[in-house]
Structure 1
Amino acid sequence: MNLKITALFCFMLGIQQVSQAQTDSTLYKKVEKIVSEAKQKYAPDKRTKIVALVQADAKNNQYVIESTEAEASQFLIKQLKGLKAKVNIKNLPDTSVSDKIYGVINLSVANMRTQPGNASEMATQSLLGTQVDILQKDRGEYRVRTPEGYISYVPASSVVAMNKQEIADWKANKKLIYTQEFGKSYSQADQKSMRVSDLVYGDILALKGESAAFYQVEYPDKRQAFIPKEEALTFEQWLSSRDLTSENVLASAKTMMGLPYLWGGTSVKGVDCSGFTKTAYYMNGVVIPRDASQQVLAGDKIDILDKDGHFDSEKALKNLKPADLLFFASGKNSNPNARVTHVALYIGNGEFIHAAGTVRINSMLKNAQNYDDFQTRTVVAARRYIGAKDTQIQAVKDNAYYKK
């Protein structure tokens, strides 16, 4: 997933002076069209790959394009050749991060946004100890890519930037994973000592030592702390104890009952609908796509629709299995081909668990007391992840961001 560090690839297409007639919107539209073609071919989902025209000065025929995809950059060079324009292609990661193209999250839960700044929409979250790719630095924030490939912005204070040797040293550490819902680390091997930070389920730290009752740990920024042994496992122990079954996925999901809905949330501090399903699978040692509209493209398709493409409850009850993912479009009478806006985990007997206001259980059966939420949405698809042969559904132990 990492590009060779090229920092800034700059080329000039045409060096002669051009007339005002040649500097109108016609040339801009040509550049825009070529970028759009590259985007569709190499980066159709901007949440995971970037090909973007970020600056356009049509009057002076100057353009800046950003790309995370080497093949897209080569395509652009070829297609733009001959145009009388000056085009800079910035391959990400760029020079703003120097050789610090790796990062490790340094907070219990780091909030990540669609654009720099706390006023921007929250896109997702990452947990302490999670490795990310650093692509760019902008206004005191890093643009990063998470283990599931999601690209967003995070404050520089939330992540420790590392070069190749530093990330290798971090990954070489024996790791510890926090397994309680909420807790804290201590400055001494004493629960009455000062807190170092809060912790949530899934946080990962370097294991530096242990006593009869405490693990000694190190944060990515080298802070030292202590965690009660009954609240954590070594990462190897945790991985070996993961067993991806429907019972285990649903048991993990039910531990989040009552959690508040949080747009962009993917932790026990709060979840959105797809953050909830993502977290339930992560608790069982599996990394899945981030958003509902991405999750619906993974796994094995389950037939739950009638011949006209509308939800068929009898077929659903027959074909669905526990821990399957149900996907919804908003509105009771939505077109079944409408954009996916919601996801839930099927429990069985017509019931499903999902994050909607809070994490709760509803039913697709009209005579059920908890049917109320179902009638406000339309089921448009279902997918089975357990047993699916799909590279988008990956065991944590096989994911490059978690392996040594």
Structure 2
Amino acid sequence: MRPIKNIFLLLLVCFFYNSDFCVANDSVKHNIINSEIIKIKKKFAPDSRLVVFDVGIINDSSGQNVLQGKTNSVIAFNELIAQINHLKIPYLNKIVQLPDSSLTEKSYGVVCQSVINLRSHPHHSSEMLSQALLGMPVLILEQTSGWLRVQTPDNYIAWTEKSSIVRFNKNQMNQWTSDRKVLFCNDFGHSYEKPDNKSQRVSDLVWGDVLMCVSESKKFIKVAYPDQRVAFVEKQFCRDYQSWINEPNPTPAIIVSTAKKFMGIPYLWGGTSVKGVDCSGFTKMIYFVNGIIIQRDASQQALYGKQVNLENGFDEISAADLLFFASESNGDLAKAITHVGLYLGEMKFIHASGRVSINSFDSRSPLFSSYRLNTLVKYQNYLNNIGSTGILKIKDSPFYQLIK
């Protein structure tokens, strides 16, 4: 009986030893793959605001290595698969490539309300990250109950309500792109059921909204929304869309004049419209209504354009340049960017802080802000760099061009 018992114990020990070895072996494999994931994310998807690369590896119930998660980066996905294949580690690929196949052909969309909110997660309680305007094209990445995850023309990725977007297939999207359109260029306004501003309102409108032009009369333009609603807008508040996107590059005077039209508009975290702006939403809107797409957040805007030399104070900075601030500086230019404003000239700048207002770097001025002077860390010239990475004319954006 004793020999049988000893054999049983030996087998039991071997079983647990091998089990522990397998677990340890899997752990090593996972560490290797996770290391590759980190490298690829750093190389191809360093900014999660612009690229989705949320992937990882687990063991399923059978002990098989399973790659799971989501990405909208084809190049990052292909690199990951190539690296794992090179390592000769067996795996099952369950990574969802966005746009999600459940969207079928309708992975394009156009904003159908005057201003829509873009959130960090598909919940009304989630942080508002940005906004998008009526007529703006988006790429739809995925959907969940009542929500769409979209990418806007500045490549920003966020969630919005399904009711905010009209989904199109490729042909429908190209039709919208080709249609004659108008830009609403008053701060605020409305569209109406009849060519009469005392008739029933159809919706509100804000500066930067785009609608399809159906026909026009002396005082009104008949317009169509992306969701096929039809209305009338006062002609005096509209301009031809094609003439807008084909305007020559704006001058410093035009940018400064545009910025001052936002004076007094309240600060709104994530705000990117005349209904409310945050600091970078304000600078973004200044350029957008002049036909230029720039990045969404201050930390992103600081990466583009041409850096102006700080050593000579304000001698080399020009009106319409962007100014970047840190929460604390003390001379440390490496501090994280937390605020942005626009230079007006004569040591004055305009920015959204509480509301859109003007301050000065001149200690003799009643508009002087010692805090902003002490936390100023960077100047970037944008106007002379239109067409470079991160500063794109609307007509040159793939979002506003025909899909091939």
How many Å separate the matches in 1 of 2:214 and 2:308? 46
Output the amino acid matched with 1:63: L
What residue number does 2:100 align with? 94
What residue number does 1:310 align with? none
C-alpha contact 1:43 1:51 (8 A) present in aligned 2: yes
Output the amino acid matched with 2:68: V
Tell me the C-alpha RMSD between the 2 structures: 2.0
Q: State whether structure 2 residue 36 is matched by structure 1 residue 34.
A: yes
C-alpha contact 1:303 1:382 (8 A) present in aligned 2: yes
How many Å separate the matches in 1 of 2:260 and 2:101? 45
CA deviation after TM superposition for structure 1 residue 25, in Å: 4.3
How many Å separate the matches in 2 of 1:20 and 1:347? 67
Q: CA offsets, 1:32-58, max 9 Å, x none?
A: 222111111111111111221267457
Output the amino acid matched with 1:235: Y
C-alpha contact 1:174 1:206 (8 A) present in aligned 2: yes
How many Å separate the matches in 1 of 2:60 and 2:269? 38
CA deviation after TM superposition for structure 1 residue 243, in Å: 4.3
Secondary structure of the corresponding residue to residue 318 of structure 1: coil
Q: State whether structure 2 residue 290 is matched by structure 1 residue 292.
A: no
What residue number does 1:396 align with? 394
Equivalent in 126, 129, 151 of residue 123 of structure 1: 129
How many Å separate the matches in 2 of 1:262 and 1:54? 35
Identity of aligned residues (%): 39
How many Å separate the matches in 2 of 1:19 and 1:224? 68
Question: Following TM superposition, where does structure 1 have runs of at least 4 consecutive aligned residues deviating by more than 6 angstroms?
Answer: none
Output the amino acid matched with 1:41: K
Give the gaps of 5 or more residues in structure 1. Answer: 1-17, 306-314
Are the structure 2 counterparts of residues 375 and 126 from structure 1 closer, same or farther at C-alpha, using a change threshold of 3 Å? closer
Q: CA offsets, 1:247-281, max 9 Å, x none?
A: 00010000000111111111101111111111111
Q: State whether structure 2 residue 174 is matched by structure 1 residue 154.
A: no
Q: CA offsets, 1:269-300, max 9 Å, x none?
A: 11111111111111211111111111111111
CA deviation after TM superposition for structure 1 residue 390, in Å: 1.4
Deviates more, 1:216-225 or 1:36-45: 36-45
Q: State whether structure 2 residue 330 is matched by structure 1 residue 339.
A: no
Equivalent in 33, 46, 49 of residue 47 of structure 1: 49
How many Å separate the matches in 2 of 1:102 and 1:375? 42
Equivalent in 37, 57, 64 of residue 68 of structure 2: 64
How many Å separate the matches in 2 of 1:70 and 1:38? 12
C-alpha contact 2:40 2:79 (8 A) present in aligned 1: yes
C-alpha contact 1:122 1:264 (8 A) present in aligned 2: yes
How many Å separate the matches in 2 of 1:377 and 1:268? 29
C-alpha contact 1:177 1:235 (8 A) present in aligned 2: yes
CA deviation after TM superposition for structure 1 residue 347, in Å: 0.8
C-alpha contact 1:214 1:226 (8 A) present in aligned 2: yes
Q: State whether structure 2 residue 231 is matched by structure 1 residue 225.
A: yes
C-alpha contact 2:181 2:211 (8 A) present in aligned 1: yes
Q: CA offsets, 1:69-102, max 9 Å, x none?
A: 2111111112222324433121110123111110
Are the structure 2 counterparts of residues 267 and 35 from structure 1 closer, same or farther at C-alpha, using a change threshold of 3 Å? same
How many Å separate the matches in 2 of 1:47 and 1:297? 14
Are the structure 2 counterparts of residues 87 and 31 from structure 1 closer, same or farther at C-alpha, using a change threshold of 3 Å? farther
What residue number does 1:383 align with? 380
C-alpha contact 2:246 2:395 (8 A) present in aligned 1: no
What residue number does 2:77 align with? 73
Q: State whether structure 2 residue 354 is matched by structure 1 residue 352.
A: no
Higher-Rg member (1/2): 2
C-alpha contact 1:322 1:346 (8 A) present in aligned 2: yes
Output the amino acid matched with 2:229: R
How many Å separate the matches in 2 of 1:22 and 1:277? 56
Secondary structure of the corresponding residue to residue 384 of structure 2: coil
Output the amino acid matched with 1:259: I
C-alpha contact 1:277 1:345 (8 A) present in aligned 2: yes
Residues 206-355 of structure 1 aligned to structure 2 (within 5 Å) = 206-241=212-247, 243-305=249-311, 315-333=312-330, 335-355=332-352
Output the amino acid matched with 1:319: E
C-alpha contact 1:27 1:58 (8 A) present in aligned 2: no
C-alpha contact 1:364 1:374 (8 A) present in aligned 2: no
Q: State whether structure 2 residue 158 is matched by structure 1 residue 141.
A: no
C-alpha contact 1:265 1:275 (8 A) present in aligned 2: yes
CA deviation after TM superposition for structure 1 residue 212, in Å: 1.8
How many Å separate the matches in 2 of 1:279 and 1:72? 31
Deviates more, 1:136-145 or 1:50-59: 50-59
Q: CA offsets, 1:160-210, max 9 Å, x none?
A: 111111111211210011010000100111111111110000100111111
C-alpha contact 1:330 1:377 (8 A) present in aligned 2: no
What residue number does 1:366 align with? 363
Are the structure 2 counterparts of residues 382 and 77 from structure 1 closer, same or farther at C-alpha, using a change threshold of 3 Å? same
Q: CA offsets, 1:196-230, max 9 Å, x none?
A: 11000010011111122110000001000100111
Are the structure 2 counterparts of residues 343 and 174 from structure 1 closer, same or farther at C-alpha, using a change threshold of 3 Å? same
Deviates more, 1:371-380 or 1:39-48: 371-380
Are the structure 2 counterparts of residues 338 and 240 from structure 1 closer, same or farther at C-alpha, using a change threshold of 3 Å? same
Give the gaps of 5 or more residues in structure 2. Answer: 1-17
